[in-house]
Amino acid sequence: EPEVTQTPSHQVTQMGQEVILRCVPISNHLYFYWYRQILGQKVEFLVSFYNNEISEKSEIFDDQFSVERPDGSNFTLKIRSTKLEDSAMYFCASSELGTLDGYTFGSGTRLTVV
């Protein structure tokens, strides 16, 4: 079964450093998403991406965040200057047509900011 792959599974970074979280969406999917889950809390939408541009973003997705599809397979989330409160699980998801058919989440990257 096709999977969304995220790397690394766990990243520890110092406050103020930049991090890039990587995702390989399912190959024929056109819509890509990032979500965040702070420990013990609900999953929160960050951003959706289609046709090489952001289609929607939440209030959480401020200027320190950016997304990119640098090539035909990867989808990245960059956090420019990490803060302690950025510590969370970050989930990538993809869907074929922006509908719920085939909407699939990756296993996540646990980001720890120290």
Partner 1 sequence: GQQLNQSPQSMFIQEGEDVSMNCTSSSIFNTWLWYKQDPGEGPVLLIALYKAGELTSNGRLTAQFGTTRKDSFLNISASIPSDVGIYFCAGQPREDNQGGKLIFGQGTELSVKP
Between strands 75-79 and 65-68, the pairing is: antiparallel
Q: Residue 15 and residue 68: Cα distance in Å, rounded?
A: 22
**Of 15-23, 28-36, 61-69, 78-86, which segment contacts partner 1 by CB under 8 A?**
28-36
Does residue 39 belong to the site contacting partner 1 (CB under 8 A)? no
Does residue 103 belong to the site contacting partner 1 (CB under 8 A)? yes
Q: Which two tokens stand for residue 9?
A: 């599974």
Output phi, psi for 25, to 5 deg: -70, 170
CB neighbour class for 10 (10 Å; exposed up to 12, middle 13-18, buried from 19): exposed
Does residue 25 belong to the site contacting partner 1 (CB under 8 A)? no
Identified binder of partner 1 from the candidate list 26, 31, 75, 111, rule CB under 8 A: 31
Does residue 43 belong to the site contacting partner 1 (CB under 8 A)? yes
Does residue 105 belong to the site contacting partner 1 (CB under 8 A)? yes
Q: Contact positions toward partner 1, by CB under 8 A? A: 4, 31, 33, 35, 41-45, 48, 50, 55-56, 91, 93, 95, 98-100, 103, 105-108, 110
